[in-house]
Amino acid sequence: MARLFGTDGVRGVANRDLTVSLTLNLAQAAAKVLGETARNEGRRPIAIIGRDPRISGEYLASAVAAGLASSGVDVFDAGVVPTPATAFLTADFSADFGVMISASHNPAPDNGIKFFAAGGHKLADDIEDQIEAAMQSELLAPIGGAVGRVQRFADAEDRYLVHLLGAIPNSLEGLKVVIDCAHGAASAISPQAFADAGAKVIVIGNDPDGLNINSGYGSTHMSALQSAVLENDADMGFAHDGDADRCLAVDHTGAIVDGDQLMAILALSAKANGTLARNTLVATVMSNLGLRIAMEDAGITMLETKVGDRYVLEQIREGGYTLGGEQSGHIIFSRYATTGDGILTALMIAAESKATGKKLSELAAQMKIYPQVLINVRGVDLSRVDSDAGLQEVVREAEAELGNTGRVLLRASGTEPLIRVMVEAADEGTAHSWADRIARVVEKNLGL
């Protein structure tokens, strides 16, 4: 039987894969596992629930609340808030755990459920396994006054907004900024945060109707933001995804600034002001070679993890680091957040531009982007990607030619039955040439 939890909670098409009965059972099992410490201490567990505005979240939130309350957990429903807000509120309210209902950047028919442990941290694999096992066990069924209560978390947004504003180091007065909210969970709070910080704000993608989340707007559809920045002669623009745990940017010329460039800006700034713990940035193996070179040139250590913000988070926590993230725009500031926070990222980038007097284009130019070609090869034996002699020989040949000006990355996808071939080089033609050649060897040698 396949594992229920994926790399970021439990996801699927709402009402087909992610049914009400599954959601209810999952919540009851989570109450049993995540509420155990509170029960052992003789108190009633407390949980925070947040969701993005997709239509299925309305009834899935009710199912989660029912499963938790029927298991003796007091529930505080924060309503529509970003994923990082749910994580923050879990810690700020000293809740025993939190639940976020969202499918992030996926389209409206999808949804997902992720849990945060006490303190707002994502769950370790073994805790997820315990919850999954508990779904098959006898669940809690208190009666009378022992059942939980469900109430609205009335000041959830205000608490999170105050937290965001307290994190940024300086005013944004004088900046004109476009915010693309992806018709998602950031639609109210991101524009408010920027306005309260002093910026002049133009907002797009901020009219969620439950069905339009991530549709034509947001960090997976950057053209709307590019156009809005140019049309409004803005200094910069920021795009969130549906649950606002990621952020990509656009400079005043309409050029996209990706997550690697944002990390470079933030790492260099943190080193300069003495807040980059252990002089280290944590990123994934998919980050651009240009980020590694920029960090090396600045005397900053860059640690690599597997793809997935949870692995970046694990490395940050284990090493006591303060900054890390992914090319996709999941950026983690461990001094202020326990997960990627797209609104905080945008505020920090804008604050750096204001403090230095430099345009975002100038800040982004601190890192050179190397051409990166990615080819997905399907219908192959994933287990042999690291052991096939012919494939390893062509990879060694590519690496010898590329030297310090490029790299090759082969990996089996963790979410799809395919092998990813990624090649970076100093020029686009070389990257394409080697990626195509290696992909052909993968197909020939590993084909099923």
Q: What is the mean pLDDT of residues 306-335?
A: 94
The string of pLDDT tens digits covering residues 259-297 is 999 999 999 999 999 999 999 999 999 999 999 999 999
- Indicate if the pLDDT at residue 9 is higher than 80: yes
The string of pLDDT tens digits covering residues 397-417 is 999 999 988 999 998 876 678
Give the chain as a 3 state SS string: CCCCCECCEEEEEECCCECHHHHHHHHHHHHHHHCHHHHHCCCCCEEEEEECCCCHHHHHHHHHHHHHHCCCCEEEEEEECCHHHHHHHHHHCCCCEEEEECCCCCCCCEEEEEEEECCCCECCHHHHHHHHHHCCCCCCCCCHHHCCCEEECCCHHHHHHHHHHHHCCCCCCCCEEEEECCCCCCCCHHHHHHHHCCCEEEEECCCCCCCCCCCCCCCCCCHHHHHHHHHCCCCEEEEECCCCCCEEEEECCCCEECHHHHHHHHHHHHHHHCCCHHHEEEEECCCCHHHHHHHHHCCCEEEEECCCHHHHHHHHHHHCCCEEECCCCCEEECCCCCCCCHHHHHHHHHHHHHHHCCCHHHHHCCCCCCCEEEEEEECECHHHCCCCHHHHHHHHHHHHHHHHHCEEEEEECCCCCEEEEEEECCCHHHHHHHHHHHHHHHHHHHEC
Q: What is the mean pLDDT of residues 297-308?
A: 94
- Indicate if the pLDDT at residue 78 is higher than 60: yes
Q: What is the mean pLDDT of residues 63-84?
A: 98
Q: Which of 56, 70, 104, 334 is catalytic?
A: 104
Q: Residue 6's pLDDT band (boundaries 50, 70, 90)?
A: confident
The string of pLDDT tens digits covering residues 132-173 is 999 999 999 999 999 999 999 999 999 999 999 999 999 999
Domains and CATH numbers, the chain: 10-154 (3.40.120.10), 159-364 (3.40.120.10), 372-446 (3.30.310.50)
Q: Residue 248's pLDDT band (boundaries 50, 70, 90)?
A: very high
- Indicate if the pLDDT at residue 1 is higher than 60: no
The string of pLDDT tens digits covering residues 184-233 is 999 999 999 999 999 999 999 999 999 999 999 999 999 999 999 999 99
The string of pLDDT tens digits covering residues 96-130 is 999 999 999 999 999 999 999 999 999 999 999 99
pLDDT at 415: 63
Is position 334 annotated as part of the catalytic site? Answer: no
Average pLDDT along the chain: 95
Q: What is the mean pLDDT of residues 342-353?
A: 98
pLDDT at 414: 66
